[in-house]
A = this chain, B = another copy of it.
Amino acid sequence: MQLNSVDQKCLDALAAALPEAALRDVAPRYLEEPRGRWHGQAGVLMAPASAREVSQVIQIANTQRVPVIPYSGGTGLVGGQVSPAGPLPILLSLERMTAVRGLYPEENVMVVEAGAILSDVHDAAAAAERLFPLSIASKGSARIGGLLATNAGGVNVLRYGNARDLCLGIEAVLPNGDLWNGLKRLRKDNTGYDLRNLLIGSEGTLGVITAATLTLVPRPASEGTALMVVDSPTAALALLALAKDHVGEGVSAFELIHGQGLAFLSEALPDLRQPFNTQPEWCVLIDLGMARGLDPASALERIFEEASEAGLVSDGVIAQSEGQRQSFWELREQIPEANRRIGSISSHDISVPLGMVPEFIEKAAGVIGALGHFRINCFGHLGDGNLHYNIFPKHGESRADYAHLSDDIKRAVHDLVHEMGGSVSAEHGIGRLKVDDLERYGDPTKLEAMRAIKAALDPAGIMNPGAVLRASV
């Protein structure tokens, strides 16, 4: 179905239906995305103040067949938040909808509007002595609506799950403008199809999430962090099993770091203190959060001792203060910034079955090596089987020298991931960047079902056209 650009008639309808404050100029930042791959376009920026106003915007868009691009925190890495071509869309931002609608510490539940920024949600939870355990590097900008629309992951998925696992209910406006109130604060509700999980992860193509009921957890009574040097990814996996055996769900994060990542930190951020005198090939960051009466530092010591006896670890440092803990985490969290400064040729957000991670790392080095001499920084959420597998030029060369190879590199990595039963987008989503990948690697029956669902809920195709699924025109 042909879509129309925002025109005067559309602007008039929006101005007539919504308060003046809801119509905003499109500042340049709304048309940018972090990878700098696309430049967006927009006919108008709408910033409604309520779910009812969101509904009015969508109704007008649906009637006039004008595309709507939901814009949340703008931090997505796959271009889901920009419309680089086609009819001029309505950009829809929920930045004025940031209220905490309800906080129920005794239920470990918070109801929050979709425009709330993640770090503000963290603060609100902390004020009630609770934790909202979704944590990603862009927490100062990312908003709840976008985090749910993309099913964000991060460093604590191992223990607490993805965004979808931390959401009990949502309020959303569907593509026809109807408002669904699904904000129930229930742990169990088997009344009908799971529309919540369908909208979560649909990247704004099936509707706009306007509010969510989030799961909080009690704050751990004490936390501890260690860096341990392992011989290999295989040893890292054995160490993870050993840590879980010791403290069960107490393992909050288990992050793999390659020596290349530490070298990039030295090169790009020389002020960061390196944890080991000799740069190891592989190390892991282990984070524990424990209930009352349990000491994470002693648990980490016991884990280290036993792992050492088993030949799994050869060196390690256990944080002796909260400051040291933060500095360990900063090492991990600055790796993406160091990567950015070095400049990757191709970056991949992949997952494979947990047990196949070592085999993937070995085989991937082979397929990349067959294409040339590169530096590989492989790091990430080992406990989830989710690696950020990024390819860089040799020292002294620039990514631009290898631009012609970037597609081949991506293809080689993704083909291998697919052969091994993995995912070419573990946590970032499809957006516009990976539409081709989804068509190439996705199950045809699932793709057909996705298209049928999209056509059923959004027959005019107004919601984020071109994201996830190729636009039908």
**A contact set with B: CB distance below 8 Å:** 104, 106-109, 150-151, 153, 157, 162, 164-165, 174, 178-182, 184-195, 197-198, 200-202, 206, 218, 220-221, 237, 241, 244-250, 290-294, 302, 351-355, 381, 383-386, 421-430, 434, 437-438, 441-443, 445-450, 452-453, 455-457, 468
Contact = CB atoms under 8 A, between A and B. Distances in A.
A446 B194 contact: no
Nearest to A187: B384
Contacts of A457: 449, 452-453
B188 A449 contact: no
Contact of A198 (B109, B194, B430): B194
Contacts of A200: 194
Given A353-B185, A443-B182, A218 B244 contact: yes
Nearest to A194: B197
A106 B355 contact: yes
Contact of A186 (B352, B383, B468): B352
B192 A450 contact: yes
Given A185-B353, A250-B248, A354-B106, A190 B453 contact: no
- State the copy count for this chain: 2
Contacts of A452: 456-457
Given A194-B197, A194-B200, A445-B180, A218 B248 contact: yes
A468 B192 contact: yes
A179 B445 contact: yes
Contacts of A352: 186
Nearest to A357: B107
Contacts of A241: 106
Nearest to A188: B426
B201 A198 contact: no
A404 to B, nearest CB: 27
A413 B49 CA distance: 36
Nearest to A183: B421
Contacts of A202: 193-194
Contacts of A190: 150-151, 153, 201, 423, 425-430
Nearest to A153: B188
12 contacts: A104-B355, A153-B190, A162-B188, A179-B445, A180-B443, A180-B445, A182-B443, A192-B442, A192-B468, A197-B198, A247-B292, A248-B291
Contacts of A430: 190-192
Contacts of A157: 187-188
A59 B302 CA distance: 58
Nearest to A78: B190
Shortest Cβ-Cβ A-B pairs, 8 listed: A248-B291, A456-B456, A197-B197, A249-B249, A189-B423, A185-B353, A180-B445, A188-B426
Nearest to A299: B293
Contact of A192 (B290, B351, B426, B446): B446
Given A200-B194, A423-B191, A104 B184 contact: no
B427 A188 contact: yes
A153 B188 CA distance: 8
A67 to B, nearest CB: 19
Q: Which of A184, A190, A354, A381 has the most CB of B within 10 A?
A: A190
A248 B159 CA distance: 12
A351 B165 CA distance: 19
A89 to B, nearest CB: 21
Q: Which of A186, A187, A293, A441 has the most CB of B within 10 A?
A: A187
A153 B153 CA distance: 25
A250 to B, nearest CB: 7
Contacts of A383: 187
A83 B441 CA distance: 39
Nearest to A291: B248
Contact of A178 (B162, B195, B426, B445): B445
Contacts of A455: 456
Nearest to A349: B190
A462 to B, nearest CB: 15
